[in-house]
Amino acid sequence: MNEFNQQIQQAAARQRLFILSLTITLAVSALIVGAFAFLLKGTPLQIRPADANRTASVEVTGGIAYLFEGTLFSLSRSPVIRVSSEGFKPAEKTISPDQEGHTLTVTLEELPARLLLGTSLEEDVEWRINDIPVAVSPSLDHELKAGNYKISIFHKYHQPESWDLTVGRGESYEETVPLRKVEGKIAISATPEGARLFIDDEPQENLPISIKKPGGAYALRLEKENYTTIEETVEVTRQIPNIIRNYRMQLLQSYLSVSLKPFGGSFTVNGKPVRDASRLPVGATKSYYVRYQKEGYYTFEQKIKVLPGETKKIDIRLKPEIAEVALTSTPSATVLIDGQPMGQTPLTLRLPAKKHKVSFVKKGYRTLKKTIRPSAVSPVRLSVKLVTEQSARLAEAKRNYRNSAGMSMLLFKPGTVTLGAPRHEKGQRANEFLRDVQLTRHFYVSKNEVTEKQFAAFRASGGAGASSLPVANISWNEAAAFCNWLSKKEGFTPFYRFKGKRYAGFDATSNGYRLPSEAEWEWLARKAGRKKQSRFPWGNDSVIPPGSGNIADESAKGVTRFYVPNYTDGHAKASPVGSFSPGKAGLNDLFGNVSEWVHDYYSLIPPPKGSVLRDPLGDQAGDKHVIKGASWSSGTLTEIRPSYRQASDKGSPEVGFRVARYL
């Protein structure tokens, strides 16, 4: 092979090597570019507003990234950029991984313009921008957006100033504005004539006067002898440039200084009451009519006049007025004058001529009270007649009333009765010995027996058993406790005494609620409402009239041991209270329904022969209490008689109670 062919082959080999090297280089470059493109994500930036975008610059202040033709390429996580533009506030943004590859909008805020304004004054003025108040101060340092504005300045003593202003973004506008005083007028007149006017302590010409004054505050003073000085500060302002005053001067204040003895009377000036006369302002040169009066004294009266500025002193000392009072009474009694004992009637006294409260007091009689008003020219002659306390109470007492438990209470005038029955009376028992009784105290008794509903209110048990049936199955102590509860509700002194739950006696003087005494109960059943005492509540005939009451009748066969044949009352057991017509005493169920606890302890000791018991209440202590009257279970002649008496210390289904109280 010649040398030329060898050169050709070598050149071909070199060409093949170059092509292979170039191919490898291009492949590697393609791989690198592909990897770089895979690792980098471009984030397009959009800057607003458009004015900011035109001059905006972007700087990477955190991480590794570069900006190429409005797109940010990040080589690290969460790069930070700072966007700036002339006339706008710079903004920093951190690009989070989830924002990469998406358009990021950055909105720049305009830089405000700044106003630095002042006036020739060192005092507050009102600053307005576009007629909106923005400050009240000697100067204005205020930021606002670029644009066109109307600036205004107001001060009460100066003319307002206003001008138009255009400011750009980030610009400062500074100016001191001179203000011109307003021009006004002060016009003054006064009555009466002769007053002197001072303006800021400078004397002025004779009044009336009208002078020009620039805006400002002025101290006015008006003086005249014997007259009160007038002082006022006025202001000449742009709203009120003209000040007009027409003063009416007042005479110097005059006073009355009055000393009064004795104290506590009525002091008047020209007929008007005055509480404090130690320094009383009055008008000068006027006449005043002063008057001081007090009961028991002669009245002081005087006409006075006070000079301007004078304090006139008056010393008033009233003289006592004495009157004669002659008092008599039947019977003779102790006299109290204004609560103080003065002696026994007949009585003649000399008293101060004023209103007095006179009381005539005598034991056993109602105190009589009178009011007298004697005078020196009109002596009092008073004669009265006293009535006994019992008569007075009786005259005041209601014949019936409804108490707080809803019970109708009837008033009874007492009388005489013979308790018990003679030995020959059919059905009589040995404990019914005869006793003559004189009842002298008026008393109230409930028209009906106490109901379950009324007793439930005492026990605060509410609805259970709250019916109109008579309450039963209660002890005597429970009945007495009910009476005390009712007394306390109505403000009466309790009749019964308890130590805890243990009964400890009674107070015979109390007018609180109690149980009727045995004598009262039998008087009500046999004597009240009739001329003569009877054997039965309806009379002396042993045949029971129809509808007399609820006892063991035909319907009680098999319920009670005994029953009254041929008598029907419609109730096998207890009936609602008031189911039958009232008896002769006007009370319901005094015969039948339930037997009743009475106040007395049970006793088998007969009184001395020929004695008369007066308002008996029995012993203060004992074992058992008396039960009176027939019940729904009574079916024998013995039981239906009012003289029948039982004794017990326990309650039963046949025993209830009613209440009473002394007037």
pLDDT of residue 23: 66
572 three-class SS = coil
Quickly state the pLDDT bin for 75 (edges 50, 70, 90). Answer: confident
Residue 550 near residue 569, CB atoms below 8 Å: yes
Query: Do strands 496-499 and 88-89 pair parallel, antiparallel, or not at all (unpaired)?
Result: unpaired
Exposure on the CB side of residue 191, measured as CA atoms within 13 A: 2
Q: What distance separates the 2 farthest-apart alpha carbons in the chain?
A: 194
pLDDT of residue 534: 95
Q: How far apart are CA 542 and CA 427, in angstroms?
A: 11
Query: Residues 194-248: pLDDT tens digits?
Result: 999 999 999 998 899 999 999 999 999 999 999 999 999 999 999 999 999 999 9
Average the pLDDT over 300-325 and give the result: 92
613 three-class SS = strand
pLDDT of residue 55: 86
Average the pLDDT over 156-177 and give the result: 91
pLDDT of residue 222: 95
pTM above 0.85, yes or no: no
Average the pLDDT over 134-139 and give the result: 93
Average the pLDDT over 395-411 and give the result: 94
Instruction: Give the 3-state secondary structure of 622-648.
Output: CCCEEEECCCCCCCCHHHHCCCCEEEE
Query: Do strands 266-269 and 272-273 pair parallel, antiparallel, or not at all (unpaired)?
Result: antiparallel
262 cis-preceded (ω within 30 degrees of 0): yes
pLDDT of residue 11: 57
Which of 26-30, 193-197, 331-335 bottoms out in mean pLDDT, i.e. has the lowest? 26-30
pLDDT of residue 519: 97
pLDDT of residue 65: 87
Query: Do strands 42-48 and 104-107 pair parallel, antiparallel, or not at all (unpaired)?
Result: parallel
Q: How far apart are CA 663 and CA 659, in angstroms?
A: 13
Q: Looking at the predicted structure, is the pLDDT value of residue 27 above 60?
A: no
- Helix axes 476-489 and 452-459, enclosed angle (nearest 10): 70
Output b/e per residue, 557-586; b: 16+ Cβ within 10 A: eeebeebbeebebebbbbbbbbbbeebbbb
pLDDT of residue 329: 95
Q: Looking at the predicted structure, is the pLDDT value of residue 514 above 70?
A: yes
pLDDT of residue 31: 46
Average the pLDDT over 361-368 and give the result: 95
Q: Looking at the predicted structure, is the pLDDT value of residue 101 above 90?
A: no
Average the pLDDT over 43-52 and give the result: 88
Residue 64 near residue 75, CB atoms below 8 Å: yes
pLDDT of residue 25: 62
Quickly state the pLDDT bin for 26 (edges 50, 70, 90). Answer: low
Q: How far apart are CA 51 and CA 45, in angstroms?
A: 15
The DSSP element (H or E) to which 459 belongs, if any, is: helix 452-459
Which amino acid is residue 256, in one-letter code?
L
Residue 628 near residue 652, CB atoms below 8 Å: no
Query: Residues 410-425: pLDDT tens digits?
Result: 999 989 999 999 999 9
Which of 8-17, 218-227, 653-662 bottoms out in mean pLDDT, i.e. has the lowest? 8-17
CB neighbours of residue 64 within 10 Å: 11
49 cis-preceded (ω within 30 degrees of 0): yes
Average the pLDDT over 364-384 and give the result: 93
Quickly state the pLDDT bin for 396 (edges 50, 70, 90). Answer: confident
Q: Looking at the predicted structure, is the pLDDT value of residue 445 above 80?
A: yes
pLDDT of residue 170: 85
Q: Which residues are CB-contacts of 418 (< 8 A; sequence separation ≥ 6)?
A: 434, 435, 436, 437, 533
Q: How far apart are CA 521 and CA 1, in angstroms?
A: 174
pLDDT of residue 24: 67
Q: How far apart are CA 485 and CA 480, in angstroms?
A: 9
Percent of the chain with pLDDT over 70: 94
Q: Looking at the predicted structure, is the pLDDT value of residue 14 above 90?
A: no
Quickly state the pLDDT bin for 378 (edges 50, 70, 90). Answer: confident
CB neighbours of residue 534 within 10 Å: 16
Q: How far apart are the first and last CA of the chain?
A: 171
Q: Looking at the predicted structure, is the pLDDT value of residue 12 above 80?
A: no
Which amino acid is residue 286, in one-letter code?
K
Q: How far apart are CA 146 and CA 111, in angstroms?
A: 8
- Phi, psi of 9, deg, nearest 5: -65, -40
Question: Which two structure tokens, joined as six digits, stand for 405?
Answer: 């438990």
If you average pLDDT over every residue of the chain, what do you get?
90
By the 10 Å C-beta count (0-12 exposed, 13-18 middle, 19+ buried), 43 is classed as buried
Q: How far apart are CA 241 and CA 215, in angstroms?
A: 7
All structural domains of the chain: 42-110 (2.60.40.1120), 113-177 (2.60.40.1120), 183-248 (2.60.40.10), 254-317 (no CATH), 322-391 (2.60.40.1120), 397-663 (3.90.1580.10)
Q: Looking at the predicted structure, is the pLDDT value of residue 67 above 70?
A: yes
